[in-house]
Chain A
Amino acid sequence: MAVEQADLLERRLRDAVGVVGVLAAGWEIFEFAAAVAAVGAGQAADLYPAFTFARGSAVSGRNAIALAPSLPARILAPAEGPALAADEADETADAIARLAAVLSERLREAARFAADPNDQAACQDAARNAARICELLAGGM
């Protein structure tokens, strides 16, 4: 469920046009990642630290975007926090890590194209947070 939602958000992000589009998609993704990480923290004891810090980064990323002047006034309501089965924690972590990696890349790109320095700063901050989520949740033992 969460994996499908992540894929959907990734497609939306790839289709986003311009700084405004990336900011709006980024907002939605950070909200989604925070919700998923909050649920994921309770799913597996060994992933509690990674999900907890990832949730923090997602909130920081969203707050970075919140201060971007070009963020549209109307933003999509945050996606419902999906329910995760215990055996989905790893799969979900992989999906969020992939999504965060793409988001980080798109935000860096947006920062280069943004005309307003405050948009640039917001995109850069948000990109760092997305990269951190990826670093925390990317898999492999």
Chain B
Amino acid sequence: MPAVFGDFLAAGTEHLEAAVVVGDGQVTQLPEVAWGLHQLVVVMSHYLDDLAPYDEIEASGRADLHAWERVVIDADAALHAAADHLRQMAEQFGGHADPAASWRARHLAGAATQLTAGRDLLHSHLATGLNGVTRGRSEWALVVTSLPVTRALASEIARWSGQLAPFTAWLAGSAMTHSPRLMPGQATAAAIYDGLASASQWLQVAGTAVLPAAYADPAPAADTELLRAIPAAMVPRRLRPGVAEESVTDLCHGIAVSATRLRAAVRGSPERAAWSPGATSGGWQWMAQAAAITSHLSELTLRSLATRAGQLPVAPAAAAQLHDAAGRLVPMRDAWRHVDQSWDNLITESRLLQTPVMTEASDLLLRMGRLVWDNPHWTPARADRGPQRLPAMLAPGTDAINDVLAAAHQAIDAISCVAMADLKAVAAADRAGRLYVPTRLLSDEDNVPRRFATAPLAQFRTLQDAYRAALDASAGARLALDEIAVAARTPSMTLALARAAAAVQSRRRAWPYNDNLIDLPPYHSPFRNSRASTGGAGPLERAIKDQQVSDPVIVLRAVAIDNAAERLMEQADATPTASGPPERRENWQRAVRRAALLADESFPLSPVTRPPTDTQRIRPDNQPSPPAISRPSSPSKHSGRRSG
């Protein structure tokens, strides 16, 4: 698995604690130590630069700053002042010095290096474009910019400042006492003393700056836990399910890897849906089937864990809680099944292609199946089925219960991400005019002289509603698993903490970031925005945050209510009215699109691609492609586009 921020934080802390040990003796090699100290403080100030929403001057006129935003600005200013004093003092020694000369300097340099690497790790989730706009590169981006991570980072930097302040004061005293021996060249004892003493005071300021915020909005231990768990923005290598039998532990690990890869694979799929031949009705439908099966397998897993939890004297999760979570997976499975059925009469112009999303979902499904069924060679085929694994074999002890629970949590979390991505993707595909219906499946009244027609609006609406229901059901199941995972402290609890944290963003300088936007409807209502659809805060979430409440559970509830409110508004939209503006607008858009398509002579000959060689037992089925049909002999025959 990739490195996590905690690795660098721990290594840096080790160096820091070794460097600041103050014995009875005096410092030797002061120029090298002072330079190392300067470098470390500079890196610390860079962290706070990243976190600060405004500079000191901009912030002075604002009354709307969160306590932690104010802390970051104040501590940042203090660290800059400390760094300035240290730089000026270091220049007295002639600038850069070799840290190798002193063990203390080596430790300070080591701490700076580790902190720099940690900062690089956090930045690996963000990318700044040529236009200066920063965007997320992974699902962790919104965690990196969240208020809980800001709180945790500010607290860590303050802690470091607090440790460095007395050490720097000690250095100052040491410089005064032993200046003739320690200071070469033109440096004067008074200047060195002043520089170090001032730096010490500013470090003390930076260290104590957090106190007001820590009092007003204490940082829970979960913040630090989450900060430490942030991984580098890299996707783990695929663990291809092989013929060799995998233990339950291996299966759980493989499921976590596939889930991570699946979450990464769906990023950007809504954008690709408008144009990519790889985005096909067959692919979406297959994914809905795989999601339904994964939900089903996860339900069986949780029921088995519930049985096992009831057998053990002490279990990390209560049997009733596990049964309840399993119950949440039933509507999830049914909702995905409905998505599958909603695709029955819809096609896209390109054939089914095996996509990375399908590959990862296949791996996930296969391992979930092998977790549930006691057959190491299980596949969805009837011939490869097996008896259900006994609860005691699935999870012999409490650790195993946690591992298996984490696997189910990972799987459901990944499927929820797919629901969100596919909901947006099908909307994009429809806007791009890529959804069709075979004419055979239309009623006799629809006189269409072609073998396929633009998908009727009602059918697209049904599909979209099915996806929304699947998203809601998946999010509900995920929330239930989030709660159990946090309570049981499973390896996957970071997913829950990350999601809660991402819902509470802290402002950043030059950060018009919104990674998850889809087109907002042109008609406005506060309830038409929710985190589920826009990635931004909905009305209730904003109201909660305006009250400076950052309790993750309260914020998560606000997010859920916003999502539900938006769904309700959309259901209201679908209710027939005499003059519903959205419906009318959409029909008009479809009419325009049809006109454009009529002019498009090339349609039936757009990309025809063959599915790749079948290398897996689980694979989606091939789907017929409209492009295989020959072009009409006369342009006049193109006039058969169906009205929406």
Contact = CB atoms under 8 A, between A and B. Distances in A.
A122 interface: yes
B347 A63 contact: yes
A125 B624 contact: yes
Interface stretch (B166-174, B216-224, B626-634): B626-634
Q: By CB atoms of chain A within 10 A, which of B382, B451, B620, B628 has the most?
A: B382
Contacts of B352: 60
A105 B410 CA distance: 42
Interface stretch (B44-52, B286-294, B417-425, B534-542): B286-294
B380 A136 contact: yes
B623 A141 contact: no
A135 B381 contact: yes
A47 B385 contact: yes
B347 A47 contact: no
B584 to A, nearest CB: 31
A114 interface: no
Contact of A141 (B383, B621, B628): B383
A59 B620 CA distance: 12
Interface string B323-361: 000000000000001001101100100001000000000
Contact of B630 (A52, A117, A136): A117
A69 B451 contact: yes
A8 B620 CA distance: 29
A67 B621 contact: no
A34 B282 CA distance: 15
A132 B380 CA distance: 12
Contact of B629 (A52, A57, A118): A118
A20 B293 CA distance: 36
Nearest to B366: A49
B383 A121 contact: no
A126 B373 contact: no
Interface in A95-141: 97, 117-118, 121-122, 125-126, 128-129, 132, 135-141
Interface string B359-399: 00000010001000100000011110110100000000000
A38 B618 CA distance: 19
A127 B352 CA distance: 15
Contacts of A49: 293, 296-297, 365, 369, 380
A52 B339 CA distance: 12
A-B pairs with lowest CB-CB distance, top 8: A64-B624, A49-B380, A66-B438, A66-B440, A57-B621, A50-B382, A121-B628, A125-B624
Given A53-B289, A65-B624, A67-B626, 18 more contacts: A48-B293, A49-B365, A50-B385, A53-B621, A56-B620, A56-B621, A57-B621, A60-B285, A63-B438, A64-B624, A66-B439, A67-B452, A67-B624, A71-B440, A118-B628, A126-B624, A135-B381, A138-B381
